[in-house]
Structure 1
Amino acid sequence: MKKNKQSFPRRRQRGFTLVELMIALFLGILIIGALLTSLLSNKDSLRVSENLARMQENSRLALELMSRDIREAGENPCGAKLMANVIRSGGNIPWWASWGDGAIQGFSGATDTTSIVPFGTAEGLRVNGTAAILVLQAGAAESNVTAHNTGSTEITVMNASNFVAGDILMSCDLQGAAIFQAGTVDSATNVINYDSSTATLNCGNGLGYPTTVACTTTTLRQFSTTNGIVTKLVPTFWYIGNNSTGGRSLYRTQIARTVVGGATQITNNRDEILNNVVEMNLSYLKKNSTTETLATTWVDADDSELAVVAGGWGELNPNQVVAVRTEIKLQSEEVVSASNTKLERTLLFISSLRSRETLY
């Protein structure tokens, strides 16, 4: 008996409809877009974090260097207050040795420091309208006095290896101090000769206080072999200058000794310390040493009590600066914000002068 084959209907094979494809494509685009947005957002956040970290890391060292200079303004290893100065350039005391005008001197944005770093648009020149500060202090490398012959103008120290001919030096003991130039330095015998015939910046051979402004008379002064010390004079000028990329940076100027044609010359070294510093504001806290009154407000460098007519920034002015308030504005290196601009941060720090802690 022949069996009949039962026939079943063939299942119809179907693909995706156009609508389904479009929906799937749309959902895929949404997912990919969300992922891309998340990646870009994370990338932007990373760039912001990296720029902020870079700003903070770079600024920390720069601000510590500046703050340390300000704290040490007026410091000398002996704590001496009577400072003789025989340094003269063209008959005048140059800015880098003007201890009598103030071991710390502030300049407002309206004051052009022509003899130090003038206003200008060239690289390394000071940006017009920004504040600046000059600090004078004794250097870290020092050596004890073992002999001092005022007749032969020779100071013998324990170790003269840190000094060379032409250096601007400070010698001090408990009774006083002097700023002078070394004419010759013999590292074998540790003898420093400061005779004005070889030390051409010295207006005389006497290292005693006082030295007249015109240097017409100088007083012989023999430094103690018990507590006498010789060290370098370190002048530092902090300012905002134009950098090589067309932006602004925090600069530090220090003098350097160079030999040109056998003659010793003193030149400025302008070092870029921190880039992308667009502004710097400086203000000062005073205390009157006569009335023992500490000011209640910070003032800028143009304050009347710090003007030349009031005694300037020197020791003769009873209104002495005891602290400096520094505010700088930094910019990031890259454009990272949503408004297509650079990040900005303002940093503030206060430095008290160690040489004037007794005024508190």
Structure 2
Amino acid sequence: MRIPSSPRHMQGLSLIELMIALVLGLLVVGAAIGIFMSNRQAYRATESIGRVQEASRVAFEMMSHDIREAGGNPCDKGTPVANVLNGAGAAWWSNWVDGIRGYDDGAAAPFGNAPAPVRVAGTDAIELKSGASGGVNVTAHATGGAQFTVNTVNHGFETGDIAMVCDGRQAAIFQVTSADSGTSNTVEHAEGGGSPGNCTTGLGVPLLCAAGSVKKTFGPNSTMVRMYATAWYVGTNARGGSSLYQVRLNGGAPQAQEITDGVTDMQITYREGGAYVAAGAVANWANVTAARITITLQSLENVGPDGQAVQRQLVHTVSLRNRNA
């Protein structure tokens, strides 16, 4: 029978061997943590870049739509237009012919004032005007009562809207003084009517905002659409950063809507003739056929290799559909 070894002959790990094992274990754990942190940083950076690219895609798609439609109306672009809206000069509703207008850094804000949030210094802005797609057909026009009858009660016009009517020979821009979409198929354009209001019920050319104004009857199959004005600019946001904002209105005071966070700069040049020039160098906005937009975006987290935010600068060129046909 074999007798087990006595305890004094049994051996275990020495202190030195245990310390070596602990050091090796710590090295393995440290390497694993380093790989994990590196992968985590790479993931955050990739995610941030993806968000920047997605934000730029959304911004460019929405801006491109507005720019392509700038200056559009249901009639020929050379049709004479009688704008009977009150006001002149710098009032944003006074000029729908240009369709597009740019503002260099430091220039006046769109619509003649600065809607909140405040525009970031050194950035460009753009103002666009066009007719809505679709529209309705006029079936009758009573010039004495300043009232249109259209082909549907679901015409989409409401009191205070700015609208255009045209028949191929002439167009007129006016403010709707009474309409109730979904209930009535009549749209009125009486004198006055709020802000800005109509200077006359006569819609003919030459425009005379006084007694004896030219009466123009728009016959059956004339087209009527709502008119829109849209502006894009970079403004400060409530989180201490800056964002791309859209201001879209038909009448009333401008209201800014935040579209994309992380936009730090926007620069725009315009093609007039064969060259792209800054807004201040455009001689005639009615001759602008395209806009080139350069947007700078940055990630909301400092995930770059140097501990800074990731930045991307993207360029997009958009042609005005109504001037390149």
| TM-score calculated relative to the size of structure 2 | 0.90
Report the alpha carbon displacement of residue 80 of structure 1 after superposing the two structures with TM.
Answer: 4.2
Is the contact made by 1:283 and 1:299 (CA closer than 8 Å) also made in structure 2?
A: yes
User: How far 1:224 moved relative to its partner?
Assistant: 3.1
Report the counterpart of residue 357 of structure 1 in structure 2.
324
Distance 1:96 1:37, change over 3 A: farther
Provide closer, same or farther for how the CA distance between residues 28 and 181 of structure 1 changes in structure 2, counting only shifts above 3 A: same
Q: CA deviation at 1:246?
A: 1.5
Residue 43 (structure 2) pairs with residue 46 (structure 1): yes
Closer, same or farther: CA 127–39 of 1 in aligned 2, 3 Å: same
Give the structure with the larger strand fraction: 1
How far off its partner does 1:216 sit? 8.0
Q: Distance in 2 between matches of 1:60 and 1:113?
A: 25
Q: What's the RMSD between the two structures over aligned residues? A: 2.5
Residue in structure 1 matched with residue 149 of structure 2 by the alignment: 156
- Give a deviation string over 1:183-213, Cα, whole Å, max 9, x none: 111544411110104466111112123336x
Conserved? CA contact 1:96–1:255, under 8 Å: no
Q: What is the aligned counterpart of 1:333 among 300, 306, 316? A: 300
Kept in 2: contact 1:238–1:250 (CA 8 A): yes
State which of 232, 255, 277 in structure 2 corresponds to 1:299: 277
The structural deviation recorded for 1:338 is 2.7
Aligned to 2:268: 282
Say whether 1:207 aligns with 2:203.
yes
2:233 to 222, 228, 239: 239
Structure 1, residues 4-58: CA drift from partner, whole Å, max 9, x if none?
x999986821121222112111110110011101111111111112112222223
- Aligned in 2, Cα 1:75/1:16: closer, same or farther, shift over 3 Å? same
Find the aligned partners of 1:49 and 1:75 in 2 and give their Cα distance.
40
Residue 125, structure 1, aligned to residue 125, structure 2? no
Aligned to 1:262: none
User: Which residue is equivalent to 2:174?
Assistant: 180
- How many Å apart are 1:94 and its aligned residue? 2.3
- For residue 313 of structure 1, report the CA deviation from its aligned partner: 1.8
Q: Which residue of 2 aligns with 1:23?
A: 20
User: Normalized against structure 1, the TM-score is what?
Assistant: 0.82
Counterpart CA distance in 2 for 1:275 and 1:137 is 27
Is structure 2 residue 152 aligned with structure 1 residue 147?
no
2:219 pairs with one of 200, 220, 224: 224
Instruction: Report 1:2-151 matches (<5 A).
Output: 12-81=9-78, 82-89=80-87, 94-100=91-97, 102-113=98-109, 115-118=111-114, 124-151=117-144
State the shift of 1:177 in Å: 1.4
The verdict on how the C-alpha distance between 1:36 and 1:125 changes in structure 2, with shifts beyond 3 A counting, is same
Q: Encode CA deviations 1:244-287: one digit per residue, 9 max, x unaligned.
A: 11111111112255xxxxxxxx1111111111100001011112
User: Which of 276, 285, 292 is the aligned partner of 1:313?
Assistant: 285
| Aligned partner of residue 300 in structure 2, secondary structure | strand
Which residue identity lines up with residue 299 of structure 1 in the other structure? V
Q: Tell whether the 8 Å contact from 1:72 to 1:353 is kept in structure 2 after alignment.
A: yes
- What is the rounded CA distance, in whole Å, between the counterparts of 1:217 and 1:24 in structure 2? 104
One-letter amino acid of the structure 1 residue matched with residue 164 of structure 2: M
3-state DSSP class of the match of 1:334? coil
Contact 1:256/1:269 (CA < 8 Å) preserved in 2?
Answer: no
Instruction: Tell me which amino acid in the other structure corresponds to 2:206.
Output: P
Contact 1:182 1:199 in 2 (8 A): no
CA distance in 2, matches of 1:57, 1:179: 38
Shift of 1:128: 2.0
Contact conserved, 1:256 with 1:268, CA < 8 A, in 2?
no
Stretches of structure 1 that go unaligned for 5 or more consecutive residues are: 258-265, 288-294, 315-319
Residue by residue over 1:171-192, the C-alpha shift from the partner in whole angstroms, topping out at 9 and shown as x without a partner, is 1221121110011115444111
1:218–1:278 Cα change, 3 Å: farther
Whole-Å separation in 1 of the counterparts to 2:61 and 2:210:
38
Q: Which runs of 5+ in 2 are unaligned?
A: none
SS at match of 2:132: strand
Q: Find the counterpart in structure 1 of residue 257 from structure 2.
A: 271
- Distance in 1 (CA, whole Å) between partners of 2:192 and 2:96 is 23
Secondary structure of 1:268's partner?
Answer: coil
Distance 1:232 1:346, change over 3 A: same
